[in-house]
Amino acid sequence: MAKKIPKQLVHSVRYTALEAIERINHGGAYSNLLLNELIKKNQVADKDTGLLTELVYGTVSRKRLLAFYLTPFTAQAKRIDSWVQSLLELSVYQLIFLDRVPAHAILNEAVEIAKAKGNPGIGKFVNGVLRSLQRKGTPPLTDIQDQMERLAIEISLPTFLTEKFVQEIGIEETRKLGLSLLEPSHVSARIDVQRISRESAIDQLKEEGIEARLSEVSPYGIIADKGFLAGSKLYEDGLLTIQDESSMLVAQIMGVKPGEQILDACSAPGGKTTHMAALLEGKGKITALDIHEHKLKLVQENAERLQVSEVIETKAMDARTVDEHFAAESFDRILIDAPCSGLGLMRRKPDIKYQKSPEDFRQLPKIQRAILESCASTLKKGGILVYSTCTITSEENQKVIAAFLKEHPEFEKVELAVNKVVQPAIQDKMLVLYPEMLMTDGFFICAMRKKDK
């Protein structure tokens, strides 16, 4: 029978943070989806939701570094339950990185949680570890002899991923990348500029107490510095949708024109689909595919809220079979926002980096190339095919494009329509946007034209 935890403790921000971290560590949920559920379940006070988010994201994103700091003080323990380790990491995160929280409050609540979830002995152990760390300080990273391991722990990335990035962009750029992932992500939204200007949207949000500014990355974007965008009247009225600035670049690069036939081969949850639909201005059609029927419901719901459902038709289909279902030269433009490792999202979903294995980077490119292969014949001559991912590994990006172009000389890369802020991320006519460059999600985009002859 599970131990009954005192109600006062259950409602506390640190207990809820521990519960979230434990579920994330055991693969129970993505961090971004879990917090809202736990805030409601544990009835966390509104004033504490910001701190809760900071505790969970801060602890999960620095997991390897926090574990390293704890090692000298836990090495003698025969066995440490995973929740106790998580409680210690959560407490060390607060002690080192959140100076606004008094140390005595951190220790007292950690001990109370340890006693309530475990027993007085665990409370004593947690108290001893944290007081020793406070007294002696954390071990220096220079204690780690191996340079790659030292960097991996400093930026809290799995060692194999650190090695992969160092191989691709070098040690210093990998350090910059890794440290930038420890910064809080900002919330951005796309405005339907067909119906309201970004400036007018910002003025209306201000009336609701939401402070926002223009995005420098996308001509459709705004960034919220304060307030809850998804609770705004603009969101409710379908004039605004939550979307990362980097993701907004896709529809812009697609160059959609009213009256065109568009294929969105991997459309869920529909952010890019609905953006392209808005640019059609009610004329033309987007055929939006996804392998999962339930995910297409998200596309349909988003399309209805954003008032663009009349130009979107959803179909459940494996994008690797497009050429079996559509005639050759059916579409003016095709978007393949391919399934990928999602490593560009590590700031927003810090747990994603711990769920990857080297095998992922062998299997995913096979799927990505199969989708490209299947869609190629259904594009009209002179049409544009855009391949995008929310990842930053060359195996899923540049190498996939190189392999496709080698097999398909009838396609050629074209220049990408981006502004001067984004221009430094263009390499060989491809957008290779790392998360530290503009503090967006990491993203890759390549646009290819099917030659007329």
DSSP string, 138-167: PPPGGG--SHHHHHHHHTT--HHHHHHHHH
The token duo for 91 is 């407490």
Question: How far apart are the C-alpha atoms of 166 and 172, rounded to whole Å?
Answer: 8
Given this model, what pLDDT does residue 260 score? Answer: 98
> What pLDDT score was predicted for residue 32?
60
pLDDT of residue 2: 54
| Averaged pLDDT, 369-391 | 98
- Per the annotation, binding residues are 266-272, 290, 318, 337
Confidence at residue 1, expressed as pLDDT on a 0 to 100 scale? 41
What percentage of the chain carries pLDDT values higher than 70?
98
Confidence at residue 174, expressed as pLDDT on a 0 to 100 scale:
97
Which one of 340, 375, 390, 446 is the catalytic residue? Answer: 390
pLDDT, averaged across the chain: 94
pLDDT tens readout for residues 126-155 = 999 999 999 999 999 999 999 999 999 999
Residue numbers belonging to the annotated binding site for S-adenosyl-L-methionine: 266-272, 290, 318, 337
* Average pLDDT of span 211-215: 97
CA distance 400 to 340: 12
Name the band, by pLDDT with cuts 50, 70 and 90, for residue 44.
confident
- Of residues 230 and 259, more confidence is placed in 259
Predicted confidence (pLDDT) at residue 453 exceeds the cutoff of 80: no
pLDDT at position 408 over 80:
yes
pTM for this one?
A: 0.93
Q: Could you tell me the two tokens for 90?
A: 């959560």
Q: Does the active-site annotation cover 340?
A: no
Q: For residue range 154-185, what is the model confidence (pLDDT) as tens digits?
A: 999 999 999 999 999 999 999 999 999 999 88
pLDDT at 447 over 60: yes
pLDDT of residue 30: 59
Give tens-digit pLDDT for 232-291: 999 999 999 999 999 999 999 999 999 999 999 999 999 999 999 999 999 999 999 999
Q: Which long-range contacts (CB under 8 A, 24 or more apart) does 275-280 make?
A: 275/190, 275/220, 275/243, 275/248, 275/250, 275/251, 276/251, 276/335, 277/303, 277/306, 277/308, 277/311, 277/312, 278/192, 278/194, 278/306, 278/308, 279/194, 279/251, 280/256, 280/308, 280/311
